[in-house]
Structures are given as structure tokens and as C-alpha cells.
Amino acid sequence: MAAGVLVYAYVSDGDDGTAEQTGTPTAPGVTSIVGPAEPDEIPNISAVGTTVTNPGRAADAASVQQPSAAGSLTGKVICIDPVHAADADLGSEPTGPGSPDTKVKDPGGSSGTVSGAPEHVITLAISMQLRQQLEARGATVVMTREGESFSGGNRERAQVANQARADLFIRIHCDGSTNPSYRGVSTLYPALISGWTDDILPASRDAAAAVQASMVAATGAPDNGTVARSDITGFNWADVPAILVETGFLTNPEEDALLNSAGYQAQVATGIARGVLAFLQPA
């Protein structure tokens, strides 16, 4: 491995909201995509496995191409997944097709360290604003849920996107850490797993880069980069390009307050929508 290049595995904050085992799911051909990193810039990680690119570096807003509000997404189908739900499902599901490894479907998510607001309420609020902005640009938007409840796990969420033949599957999440000083946004995308994600990886990686840059420019939040993850069940079952947007840390008092603000939720939605437009309608 080249000097100055570090490879990391997240050990918490998976799509089930619980602590994760290090390592990879049972599948052949698992690889990692590496990039420059500094250990103290990356939240919730230990050294082995998943990789982070460009962590901790705020984007230069002037360098980020901002699509106009008039840009068209007519003919495009976007699936939005507000991660978690009020009705936790502690059952298990395979981490990917044919895998003997399983994860909890949904323990219910986290809550604001000061506000006490549950994650599933915030992810839905952001998702509904995002839906409005994407539909205003002509997109057809499919939601995995529009209310408090969801029946099934992350496999079923991915299948909603698959059945819609979505041009992009966007999962909206809030981050968390045992260190309350950690803050910022990141965008996750599938790591390369032969037979599971190899077909959707290139487009997913491009979508993550576009959304991350635009979201940082729209919100001014610290840039925690784009992250390749092999342990996200909702990625491993997806047959369409998929990303998961970490909109901020509910365990950070400042970001907890922001994420409970309708104005900031609109900023996050605007950043994601502009990134989607940049990905699907590049200049």
C-alpha cells in the first residue's frame, strides 16, 4: 500500500443503526477503494476494511458546479428511503443475496442528544422536502415510506427501488458517535463485491461524489467525504445505483439543533437535489 494511504472499516452506524463487526460479508471478490486520509479526521472508525475519500475537507463552494433550479429531471425515477421507522423490527435478514451472514432489520435508529428527536422523524422530514424539490424538476419520485411505519428490512427497502427501476436510490440517514464533538456530512456508496455490487458501483460512486460536493456547498457543513461500504444491506440488495447520505450527527448538540430546523432540512434537501441533477444531467 502506498505511503500516506490508509484503509478503514466503520465499526458503527450501519443501515441497521447498531454497532458493526469489522470485516466484510461472506461474498467473493470484496475489495476496497482507497484515498488519502488522516485518522483523526474520520469519525467512528477503526483501521481495517472500508475506505474514506477526502475526509474532513470542506468543499470550495466556488469550485462546485451548482445546477440551476430550472434543470430538468423529466423521465428520471428517483427512489428516496427515509431510513429507520417508528416500529422497530429486531428480526434478522441476510446482508446480501445468498449470504449466511445476517443483520438486524431495524432497531429504530438514534435520537438527538439534546432534542431527543428520533432519527426516523428527521429522515422523513428531509426526504419529503427532497421529494418536493425533485418533483419540481420533473422527476418521478418513489418513497419507501411516507409515514411513521415501514414493514420489512433494508432488503425490502432496496427492492422498492429495484421494482421502480430507479435511476438512483437515495437513502437518508443521520449519523452518530460516542464522541459528541464529531460533526459533518458524508455520502456512502457500495464497495465492490463481485456478484452483488459490481454492476452498480461506478454509477453509485459518481452519484455519491456529486451529492457530497453539492450538499457541503449548500449547507457549509464539514466535509467527511465519500465512503465505500461493504456492510450495508440496503446496498448489497440493490440492483440500481445507490447512495446513503449521512446528513449530520445527532450526537453533536449543534448538528442536533440544525437537523431539527426546517430551514436547515431544506438546505440539506437542496444540496442533495442539486447533486442528483449534476449526476443525472451532467453539463
Cell numbers linked to 196: 452483488
| Cα distances (angstroms) measured from residue 237 to each of 79, 134, 234, 244, 280 | 14, 24, 6, 14, 22
Between CA 148 and CA 121 the distance in angstroms is 7
CATH number at residue 129: 3.40.630.40
User: How many C-beta atoms lie closer than 10 Å to residue 44's C-beta?
Assistant: 21
Confidence (pLDDT) at 67: 42
Between CA 106 and CA 83 the distance in angstroms is 9
Domains: count for the chain = 1
- Which domain covers residue 30, as residue numbers? 5-280
pTM of the complete model: 0.80
User: What letters, b where the CB count within 10 A reaches 16 and e where it falls short, cover 56-71?
Assistant: beebeeeebebbeeeb
Q: What is the mean pLDDT of each run of 10 residues along the chain (283 residues)?
A: 32 41 33 28 34 47 42 94 86 94 88 95 97 97 89 91 98 95 98 97 98 98 98 97 98 98 98 98 77
Confidence (pLDDT) at 88: 78
